[in-house]
Structure 1
Amino acid sequence: MSVAPVASLPHPLVCAVEQIEGALDGMPIDGWSGLEPVTLRESAERLMRVEARVKAQLMAVTRALDETGLAKASGASSTGAMLAGSFGGDRRAADGLINQAKELDRAPATEDALARGAIGPAQAAIIAKAVAELPDDTTPEQKQACEDTLIGDAGRYSLKDLRSRSKRITDQFKPEPEVDQIENANLESQEKDAWRRSEFWMVNDGDGTCRGGFRIPEAQADMLRAAIEAISAPRRDHLHDHTPGAESYYDKDLEHRHRLGMGFAELCNHLPGDKLPGKGGLGATLMVRFDFETLLRGIKPATLSTGTRISAGQARQMACRLGMIPQVFDGKSLPLDHGHEQRLFTKTQRQALENRDGGCTFPECDRPPEWCEAHHWRMRWADGSDTTLDDGVLICPFHHRTIHDNDWAIRMAPVDGHPEYRAPGSDAWKRNHRWRP
């Protein structure tokens, strides 16, 4: 009597992939129109988390595939090349996927957070890199504390702030002076390497335009960005009536990239030839915040108004050569407050607000300081408000109109004195999280 062979059941993970495919088959692309805006937003956020969870599974399966050696056995130069040949055609992206999967293998808590949809792929990459770069003498307990801290920070900070935070993550277990020295040494090394890698290219397209690209150190890029965004900020559109084609180029619906391009062209048009190297020096105005210890000993890093961290040596050098405005704390105070007779915030007050707020203070807004207006948050100036630092917040034009039109409430947080906002009819106070060391 012959016995029929028992068919092997598919692995649960294979079944799960089939279920995902089946669910997507039942989701017509044109089925979203007509849904309530709140439902669309919630669905978009959930799909973003689903995408992160799928990305975690994709990295796990590609890592396991790479370990089998199938790529070389089948004649492919790498697992990434094999996958790119099967779907997508982007070998660089496939190789990057596998490299990130290997980094996440050394940060299991981060990979688990990605698999749960608690963080996104870009956040996971920053955290995994930070964990991999921890000093050799880091204990497993300290490593876990650092990883858990950054996972918690990911929900509050922008990618730039999370990256900056990750570079100082050793402050979880090292004394502050030692952390400052470690960070300053790392920044000095990074800055030297950035100068060595700097490059610039430009070609004439023959149609009246030129295009190009560059790689420059981050601090100098912040200077360039600060100047361009100050020129191209929407609140200055009325100043461009003299610009050729202003009626179209400075339209309210102009794409951000095009607006910055026009700002860059206008910046080049106003370069002071008499102050170029050999006759002075040239630099966009930024603020740098450092404390009195930095002036005395020069070992602690400083922070630009953009949030970029720089070494103490670069801060001193830039303050001497460029349009850098130092804000020294625990030193002599500047006259920042003015009474009711003055309506507009002074230049000095504005600089102090930029340093404190870092840009628009409305929750989740990423507009830079150059795009913002100083707002009297306690009461309107016409109703008797004083023009003082305590009464000022930076807010971009869009959110400035939002709080006036919809009666948002504003307060200064009792713990650290940073602005917080409450929507009409809500009891929850929210704030814009920008990390500062």
Structure 2
Amino acid sequence: MDQDLQHPVVGCAGDLRSSLKSVVSVEPVFMSVADKRAALVELAAARSQLDGLLARVLAASDDLGAVEGSRDATAWLARETRVTRRESRRDLALGRALEAHPEVGRQLADGTLRSEQARAIVDAVDALPSRVDDAVRAEAESRLLAYAREHDAKGLRQIGKRILDVVAPEVGESAEADALEAEERRAEESVSFSMSDDGEGRCHGRFTVPSHVGAILRRILLALANPARHTEADLRDEAGVWKPSRRRMGEAFVEYVERYPTDASPQTAGVNATVVVTMTLEQLLGEHAAVLLDDGSRMSAAQARRLSCEAGIIPVVLGGDGQLLDLGRSRRLFSKAQRIALGLRDGGCTTRGCETTAAGCQAHHDDPWSNGGATDLVNGRLLCPRHHRLAHDPRYAKTIHADNQVTFVMRT
């Protein structure tokens, strides 16, 4: 293209790239402290100006999107420049917002604002209730621009949530209450938790919870990760290097889960949420052995011994007599230990063809306790709630088969 016919924006972009290339070989380490101060401030301002210009051009490029067969230019820009579509869409949103907020655009263009500050301001003003008139909106934007001289984007977002308290106190309180209720409702509706085991001894997960729950969890983990609770050796990794906060917080989370009081955990089918590990006496005493957990996974005997002392893991030593499992007539309800043993023996509902797991079952007396039946393992079995009801329904006959499975048939 002829230099005289080149658009000023294209020429500016070319000049910027040429100027940047001219300092590629300059080593910043040799700059004086004063020069570094000046350079960092000027570069931050220049980056803001460039962000603003790119957003403005992108917002004016719907015709480019039409040529490319899309509704806007973000897909084309992402493909050509290898930025993510999310990033290019954020730039487009900023460019379109600046069209409705020219003063924010002007201050971004002259380097006074940072791009994230600009986003925080336009988001706060656009989030004001529809009943707020234009004069109040203009005053809110003006105040936020003034606050931007002292606050970063994070601070502006917090101020923006309560800007009506400054510019229109008469509507600010009710507007904040409405906004908080909507925010809390969205948070409750988006709650999620997922986790998966990678088969290599590690479990990975993601969660989304309301902010106050996250704050509680963070406060607990920070307390557990507090260096004052640990020796210097605990704060260093295997190579003797100080552990980063990310790892210390991860270790705090592990400690929180392992040491959570099992008697405070919720119960499922009469048993607190615990993990049961089965081992022989030889495995319990041996140095090198693997043991079986009730979910089918395995761990080392050494790990099981440690966790059984302080965590929500119950060891069942085959052949040992650490727990009394046969209580005879001393009580009507099956004990926690008996309930665990039934789960290990039966695996789930003992009705033939039923696939309900042990966690979803109830303990049942084959010979009813009211008729003198003992509360022991020989007289007990696991049944899901539906089949447990059938076991007590006189219209059905129960048959116990040689494999300890049962069937129910309606009496004729």
TM range (shorter): 0.5 to 0.7
| Letter aligned with residue 33 of structure 1 | V
- Give the conservation status (yes or no) of the 8 Å contact 1:145–1:172: no
- Give the conservation status (yes or no) of the 8 Å contact 1:71–1:78: yes
| Letter aligned with residue 194 of structure 1 | A
| Letter aligned with residue 128 of structure 1 | V
- Give the conservation status (yes or no) of the 8 Å contact 1:191–1:217: yes
Change over 3 Å in CA distance of 1:122–1:19 after alignment to 2? same
State the shift of 1:216 in Å: 0.8
Partner in structure 1 of residue 22 of structure 2: 26
Change over 3 Å in CA distance of 1:188–1:277 after alignment to 2? farther
State the shift of 1:249 in Å: 7.0
**Whole-Å Cα distance in 2 between the matches of residues 164 and 7 of structure 1?**
47
**Whole-Å Cα distance in 2 between the matches of residues 7 and 15 of structure 1?**
8
**Whole-Å Cα distance in 1 between the matches of residues 60 and 137 of structure 2?**
25
Partner in structure 1 of residue 64 of structure 2: 70
Structure 1, residues 95-132: CA drift from partner, whole Å, max 9, x if none? 22112211222222222222222222222111111111
Partner in structure 2 of residue 225 of structure 1: 218
**1:54 aligned to which of 39, 50, 53:** 50
Partner in structure 2 of residue 13 of structure 1: 9
State the shift of 1:218 in Å: 0.9
Residue 156 of structure 1: SS of its match in structure 2?
coil
**2:123 aligned to which of 118, 122, 129:** 129
Partner in structure 1 of residue 142 of structure 2: 148
Q: How does 1:226-265 map to 2 (within 5 A)?
A: 226-233=219-226, 235-236=227-228, 238-239=230-231, 246-248=235-237, 253-265=242-254
Q: Does 1:270 align with 2:264?
A: no
- Give the conservation status (yes or no) of the 8 Å contact 2:236–2:242: no
**1:95 aligned to which of 89, 97, 102:** 89
State the shift of 1:90 in Å: 1.9
Structure 1, residues 287-333: CA drift from partner, whole Å, max 9, x if none? xxxxxxxxxxxxxxxxxxxxxxxxxxxxxxxxxxxxxxxxxxxxxxx
State the shift of 1:220 in Å: 0.9
**Whole-Å Cα distance in 1 between the matches of residues 24 and 51 of structure 2?**
22
Change over 3 Å in CA distance of 1:7–1:123 after alignment to 2? closer
- Give the conservation status (yes or no) of the 8 Å contact 1:49–1:118: yes
**Whole-Å Cα distance in 2 between the matches of residues 249 and 156 of structure 1?**
43
Partner in structure 2 of residue 162 of structure 1: 156
**Whole-Å Cα distance in 2 between the matches of residues 179 and 150 of structure 1?**
15
The normalised TM-score by structure 1 is 0.55
Structure 1, residues 145-171: CA drift from partner, whole Å, max 9, x if none? 111211222343354432121111112
Residue 247 of structure 1: SS of its match in structure 2?
coil
Residue 248 of structure 1: SS of its match in structure 2?
coil
- Give the conservation status (yes or no) of the 8 Å contact 2:78–2:84: yes
**Whole-Å Cα distance in 1 between the matches of residues 71 and 218 of structure 2?**
41
State the shift of 1:250 in Å: 11
**Whole-Å Cα distance in 1 between the matches of residues 64 and 44 of structure 2?**
31
**Whole-Å Cα distance in 2 between the matches of residues 268 and 29 of structure 1?**
52
Residue 60 of structure 2: SS of its match in structure 1?
helix
**Whole-Å Cα distance in 2 between the matches of residues 182 and 107 of structure 1?**
22
State the shift of 1:228 in Å: 1.7
- Give the conservation status (yes or no) of the 8 Å contact 2:117–2:152: no
Residue 211 of structure 1: SS of its match in structure 2?
strand
- Give the conservation status (yes or no) of the 8 Å contact 2:64–2:72: no
Partner in structure 2 of residue 365 of structure 1: none
Question: Which runs of 5 or more structure 1 residues have no equivalent in the other structure?
Answer: 1-5, 280-437
State the shift of 1:10 in Å: 2.7
- Give the conservation status (yes or no) of the 8 Å contact 1:107–1:131: no
**Whole-Å Cα distance in 1 between the matches of residues 238 and 110 of structure 2?**
44
Partner in structure 1 of residue 389 of structure 2: none
Change over 3 Å in CA distance of 1:93–1:263 after alignment to 2? same
**Whole-Å Cα distance in 1 between the matches of residues 194 and 102 of structure 2?**
42
| Letter aligned with residue 230 of structure 1 | A
Number of residue pairs the alignment of both structures matches: 267
Partner in structure 2 of residue 383 of structure 1: none
**Whole-Å Cα distance in 2 between the matches of residues 263 and 240 of structure 1?**
16
| Letter aligned with residue 42 of structure 1 | A
State the shift of 1:28 in Å: 1.2
- Give the conservation status (yes or no) of the 8 Å contact 1:228–1:264: yes
**Whole-Å Cα distance in 2 between the matches of residues 132 and 112 of structure 1?**
18
State the shift of 1:71 in Å: 1.4
State the shift of 1:81 in Å: 0.6
Stretch deviating more after TM superposition (54-63 or 196-205)? 196-205
* Percentage identity across paired residues of the two chains: 25
| Letter aligned with residue 262 of structure 1 | E
- Give the conservation status (yes or no) of the 8 Å contact 1:237–1:250: no
| Letter aligned with residue 49 of structure 1 | A
Residue 15 of structure 2: SS of its match in structure 1?
helix
| Letter aligned with residue 270 of structure 1 | R
Change over 3 Å in CA distance of 1:72–1:262 after alignment to 2? same
- Give the conservation status (yes or no) of the 8 Å contact 1:71–1:79: yes
- Give the conservation status (yes or no) of the 8 Å contact 2:129–2:175: no
- Give the conservation status (yes or no) of the 8 Å contact 2:236–2:243: no
Larger Rg: 2
Q: Does 1:198 align with 2:187?
A: no
Q: Does 1:36 align with 2:32?
A: yes
Structure 1, residues 10-37: CA drift from partner, whole Å, max 9, x if none? 3333332222122111011552122234
Change over 3 Å in CA distance of 1:261–1:82 after alignment to 2? same
State the shift of 1:59 in Å: 0.2
- Give the conservation status (yes or no) of the 8 Å contact 2:61–2:72: no
Stretch deviating more after TM superposition (144-153 or 193-202)? 144-153
State the shift of 1:182 in Å: 1.9
RMSD over equivalenced CA pairs, Å: 2.7
- Give the conservation status (yes or no) of the 8 Å contact 1:114–1:120: yes
State the shift of 1:87 in Å: 1.1
